[in-house]
């Protein structure tokens, strides 16, 4: 039977974050940071329910995504992302957690573990390589909603956003897609992600400027698990060789595309449980 999901919200700076929690206090809790193109905490419900058999597990929608609010000041900088992690941890009453991050969420999880080692009992990077870095510092969002891409079909939207797409498309996959796609003339467009989600325009104070990804990883003091999707092109052979020589870093490979939790949830849960 599925575990009861508890939802909550927490204020962090100029946004309200939407949080899902599962399980009861037990082993070290897990905090999940979803990816950016396009994912949110709803994708993690099935996985979180399974992982919560012996611990608390939480996932939250990043600022500007899903059921979290959009930043009025367009503050989607790295400092804000780390502030959001801290705000969620305080709301949950957790002093430490294993930080799990997929794709863009992996970059934020890496920064959290490197810059705030006191909160990270472990770090799990899901199809995110430190060699990818942290993206452009500001981004160039569309000037208006009209500039958002329109996908002719749901299938095209899923392919463009790197999500796993069953062929043929299942009823469940279609229903999930319609939670974040808006029907418009000519097809569908993303409805639950701020087009400015890469903008740092509203940053206050000194901006957090990440170093090269491997430099940040070198400062991580907790055990690190990297889950690599075998069908994804994000890891080059030289990246795997370099990571294999690093202390505290373990690599597991899963037969999946980039959307590991959508395509291979059972394999993901098994790999993470074994490492934990």
Taking the domains of the chain in order of start, what are their residue ranges? 6-139+206-275, 149-194
* Residue 7 reports pLDDT greater than 50: yes
- Tell me how far apart the alpha carbons of residues 58 and 68 are, in angstroms, rounded to a whole number: 15
Strands (E), the chain: 6-12, 15-22, 27-33, 55-60, 97-102, 120-126, 181-184, 187-190, 224-229, 249-254
Looking at residue 204, what is its pLDDT? 80
pLDDT tens by residue, 106-149? 999 999 999 999 999 999 999 999 999 997 655 555 555 557 88
Residue 175 has pLDDT above 80, yes or no: yes
Which whole number is the average pLDDT over 18-31? Answer: 98
* Mean pLDDT, range 154-163, rounded to an integer: 94
Q: How far is CA 249 from CA 7, 123, 272, in A?
A: 33, 9, 14
For residue 8, pLDDT over 90 is answered with: yes
Cα–Cα nearest to 163, from 36, 32, 20, 30? 36
CATH number of 6-139+206-275: 3.40.50.1820
Query: How many angstroms separate the CA atoms of 168 and 154, rounded?
Result: 12
pTM over the 0.85 mark? yes
CB-CB neighbours of 168 under 10 Å: 8
Between CA 197 and CA 128 the distance in angstroms is 19
CB-based contact 251:243 (threshold 8 Å): yes
């Amino acid at each position: 039977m599925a575990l009861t999901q508890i939802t909550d919200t927490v204020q962090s700076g100029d946004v309200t974050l939407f949080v899902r929690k599962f399980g009861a206090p037990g082993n070290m809790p897990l905090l999940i940071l979803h990816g950016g193109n396009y994912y949110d905490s709803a994708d993690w419900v099935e996985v979180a329910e399974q992982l919560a058999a012996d611990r608390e597990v939480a996932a939250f929608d990043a600022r500007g995504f899903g059921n979290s609010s959009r930043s009025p000041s367009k503050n989607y900088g790295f400092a804000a992302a780390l502030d959001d992690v801290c705000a969620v941890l305080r709301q949950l009453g957790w002093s430490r957690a294993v930080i799990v991050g997929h794709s863009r969420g992996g970059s934020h999880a890496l920064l959290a573990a490197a810059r705030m080692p006191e909160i990270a009992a472990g770090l799990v990077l899901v199809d995110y390589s430190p060699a990818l870095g942290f993206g452009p510092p500001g981004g160039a969002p569309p000037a208006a909603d009209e500039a958002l891409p329109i996908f002719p079909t749901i299938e095209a939207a899923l392919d463009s956003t790197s999500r796993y797409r069953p062929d043929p498309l299942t009823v469940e996959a279609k229903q999930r897609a319609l939670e974040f796609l808006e029907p418009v003339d000519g097809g569908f467009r993303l409805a639950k992600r701020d087009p400015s989600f890469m903008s740092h325009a509203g940053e206050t104070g000194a901006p957090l400027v990440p170093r090269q990804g491997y430099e940040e990883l070198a400062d991580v003091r907790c055990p690190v698990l990297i889950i690599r999707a075998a069908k994804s092109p994000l890891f080059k052979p030289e990246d795997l060789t370099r990571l294999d020589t690093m202390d505290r870093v373990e690599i597991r490979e899963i037969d999946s595309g980039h959307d590991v939790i959508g395509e291979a949830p059972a394999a993901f849960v098994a790999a993470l449980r074994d490492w934990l």
